[in-house]
Amino acid sequence: MRNSKAKKLLKKINEQKTYYRAMSDEKLQAQTEILRKKIANNEDEEAIIVEAFAVVREASYRVLKMFHTDEQVLGGLVLYEGYIAEMKTGEGKSLVATLPLYLKALTMGRSFLITTNGYLAKRDKERIGPVYEWLSLSVSDSSAVENETKSLVEQRKIVYGGDIIYTSNGEFGFDFLIDGLADSPENRFMPELTFALLDEVDEILIDTAQTPLIISGNPKVQSNYFDVSHRFVQTLRIKQDYEMDDEGENVWLTEKGIEKAKHYFSVDNLLGLPYFSLYQHVILALKAEHTIRKDKDYLVEDGEVKLLSRKDGRILEGSSLQSGLHQAVQTKEGAKGTPESQTISSVTYQNLFRQFRQLSGMSGTAKVAEPEFIGTYNLPVKKIKTHKKNKRKDYSSLSYVTNEAKLKAALKKIQELHKKEQPLLIITGSVDASELMSLYLLDLGIAHNVLNAKSSLKEAQMIKKAGRIGAVTVSTTMAGRGTDIKITEESIKKGGLVVTPKI
């Protein structure tokens, strides 16, 4: 959308404020049905946009006591046209989304708001959903239906029957795969994929674009070698019976280890074809014991082994290690076992979101990735200026010859700022980096929180507190996204929140 066109529409929308403010609640609510009829009669699209945006703006004011700023309206216009809107943190993207979601639900029959985790989807549906409901549209979120009297298909039909649907990319992806495996039309629940607005669009479409979502099925024969293999590898000694590479990523039996296995299992040729499956399970047990690390690669929650993203520490719901390795880890932890599996359905996020007739997205950091958005998805990025002048101070980057010198300088600066009780948000590029930084801070006696995105609810609660006086928070780049940091008056007097570049 050209800037001139957007500003022209904004002017017209602003001119409608007095007209709709004078309406009674009943008359304003009736505008939804009036707009439906105008859309069905193919009336002028620009006029419909102006009316719809003005209606949502006024409804939001009455229901939430929030009236969209001009910048938020411009953001909504960009999203409606199928672009990505870059809007800085704190500019109210959740409220911006109401404008295109409402109108797309009327013009296309349904609209989706897809964000990075279920907590944010549920939060936004609860906060913003009353606006749509007040305007006679149904709204749902993917976590809302928990009714033991209904089947999974019945529950998902309720979720996907809403006019406006809030969900996470992971949950939506697995629902898409499950729906595709239905054995009859009656067991399908996924509606036509019309319009999707992706919150934190750079994380969904770029950072995790090639991540495969996998649904696995069980092979006919299950192995009974996991327990005995696990017990065997407990007897092995490093350098004698097995060796590992310097990175700790690969492990293998030495000749002595192979001989020890032959004796332990009473077989004459461990590497022979008859015992190939046994040898495989021994190697799986070795890998599970020495290369798959608890609280780094996985955690155990409610008796289940759940994988963690090595990039940001987030739980990879529904994902599992393949080729028996997951079962080997479960055996190692004494956790609830799941049958060995084989992939029966899979899709990447990139291919998943290409199924929609129209996409748009919003983020605070999308412009830098615009070439990739255009090349892969044909989604240009439009920057929306902030409502108020930006008070943040951006300092020039400093370069260091070695990582050690950079780390020493960073720790020295952290100590200086912490002594002043100025709140600090220390950004790291990976879980490993955040854990290393945590060790250094502990050594310096600096109390802090480590935010690795392992729990969406906990990370949201922690990031909110990062702006308090004296707070020190170490966070991976993806953790806490979608949650605003609250800066206290005391912190502002100390100089405000300091955010480091990625360390």
For 148, phi then psi, to 5°, come to -65, -15
Q: What is the pLDDT of residues 8-23, one digit of tens each?
A: 999 999 999 999 999 9
In a domain, 469, yes or no: yes
* Domain identity same for 335 and 418: no
Average pLDDT of the residues in 477-503: 77
Task: Give the pLDDT of residue 294.
Answer: 87
Does the CA dihedral 387-482-312-352 come out positive or negative? negative
Task: Give the pLDDT of residue 486.
Answer: 78
Q: What is the mean pLDDT of the chain?
A: 88
3-state secondary structure (DSSP) of residue 244: strand
Share of residues in the chain with pLDDT > 90 (%): 55
Alpha-helix residue ranges (DSSP H) falling in 160-300 = 169-180, 201-202, 226-233, 255-265, 276-290
In a domain, 395, yes or no: no
Residue 400: DSSP 8-state: -
Task: Give the pLDDT of residue 251.
Answer: 92
Task: Give the pLDDT of residue 341.
Answer: 59
In a domain, 425, yes or no: yes
Closest by alpha carbon to 355, among 218, 228, 195?
Answer: 195
Residue 207 has pLDDT above 50, yes or no: yes
The burial of 166, by beta-carbon neighbours within 10 Å (0-12 exposed, 13-18 middle, 19 or more buried), is given as buried
In a domain, 389, yes or no: no
Q: The domain spanning residue 194 has which CATH number?
A: 3.40.50.300
List, as one string, the DSSP characters of 301-370.
Answer: ETTEEEEB-TTT--B-TT---TTTHHHHHHHHHTPPP----EEEEEEEHHHHHTTSSEEEEEESS-GGGH
More confident residue, 320 or 216: 320
Average pLDDT of the residues in 385-412: 85
| Structural domain ending residue among the three candidates 340, 363, 393 | 340
H or E stretch covering 96: helix 93-96
E-strand ranges in 139-210 read 139-141, 164-168, 195-199
In a domain, 7, yes or no: yes
Q: In this structure, are residues 472 and 423 in contact, taking their beta carbons and an 8 Å threshold?
A: yes
Q: Which of 62-66, 132-136, 256-260, 397-401 has the lowest mean pLDDT?
A: 397-401
3-state secondary structure (DSSP) of residue 36: helix
* Domain identity same for 14 and 125: yes
Task: Give the pLDDT of residue 36.
Answer: 97
More confident residue, 118 or 72: 72
* Domain identity same for 335 and 358: no
Q: What is the pLDDT of residues 433-442, one digit of tens each?
A: 888 899 999 9
More confident residue, 164 or 403: 164
Average pLDDT of the residues in 227-249: 91
Task: Give the pLDDT of residue 217.
Answer: 63
Average pLDDT of the residues in 209-225: 67
* Domain identity same for 71 and 182: yes
Task: Give the pLDDT of residue 431.
Answer: 75
* Domain identity same for 300 and 321: yes
Measure the CA–CA gap between 90 and 460, rounded to whole angstroms. Answer: 15
* Domain identity same for 193 and 238: no
For 158, phi then psi, to 5°, come to -65, -45
More confident residue, 395 or 101: 101
Task: Give the pLDDT of residue 38.
Answer: 97
- Total tally of structural domains belonging to the chain: 3
Average pLDDT of the residues in 265-279: 87
Average pLDDT of the residues in 398-412: 87
Q: What is the pLDDT of residues 150-160, one digit of tens each?
A: 788 888 999 99
Closest by alpha carbon to 75, among 114, 44, 101, 39?
Answer: 101
Range of the domain at 423: 403-499
Task: Give the pLDDT of residue 220.
Answer: 45
Residue 82: DSSP 8-state: T
Closest by alpha carbon to 73, among 97, 42, 89, 46?
Answer: 97
Residue 421 has pLDDT above 60, yes or no: yes
Q: What is the pLDDT of residues 38-82, one digit of tens each?
A: 999 999 999 999 999 999 999 999 999 999 999 999 999 999 999
Q: In this structure, are residues 452 and 438 in contact, taking their beta carbons and an 8 Å threshold?
A: no
Q: In this structure, are residues 49 and 328 in contact, taking their beta carbons and an 8 Å threshold?
A: no
* Domain identity same for 132 and 193: yes
Dig out the tokens for 170 from the structure: 């992971």
User: pTM of the prediction?
Assistant: 0.72
* Domain identity same for 115 and 48: yes
Strand 449-451 to 472-476 pairing:
parallel
More confident residue, 137 or 174: 137
* Domain identity same for 302 and 161: no
Task: Give the pLDDT of residue 221.
Answer: 44
* Domain identity same for 373 and 472: no
* Domain identity same for 201 and 241: no
Does the CA dihedral 175-180-186-191 come out positive or negative? positive
* Domain identity same for 378 and 409: no
Task: Give the pLDDT of residue 483.
Answer: 64
Closest by alpha carbon to 288, among 331, 322, 259, 336?
Answer: 331
Closest by alpha carbon to 203, among 244, 241, 168, 238?
Answer: 168
Q: Which of 57-66, 373-382, 389-398, 488-497 has the lowest mean pLDDT?
A: 389-398
In a domain, 392, yes or no: no
Task: Give the pLDDT of residue 172.
Answer: 94
Q: In this structure, are residues 257 and 265 in contact, taking their beta carbons and an 8 Å threshold?
A: no
Q: The domain spanning residue 257 has which CATH number?
A: 3.90.1440.10
More confident residue, 265 or 339: 265
Measure the CA–CA gap between 86 and 362, rounded to whole angstroms. Answer: 6
Integer-rounded Cα radius of gyration of the chain: 27
More confident residue, 475 or 14: 14
E-strand ranges in 431-489 read 449-451, 472-476
Residue 146 has pLDDT above 70, yes or no: no
Average pLDDT of the residues in 329-338: 84
Average pLDDT of the residues in 446-472: 78
Task: Give the pLDDT of residue 465.
Answer: 79
In a domain, 390, yes or no: no
Measure the CA–CA gap between 430 and 428, rounded to whole angstroms. Answer: 6
In a domain, 393, yes or no: no
Share of residues in the chain with pLDDT > 70 (%): 91
Q: Which one of 109-123, 445-459, 462-476 scores highest in mean pLDDT?
A: 109-123
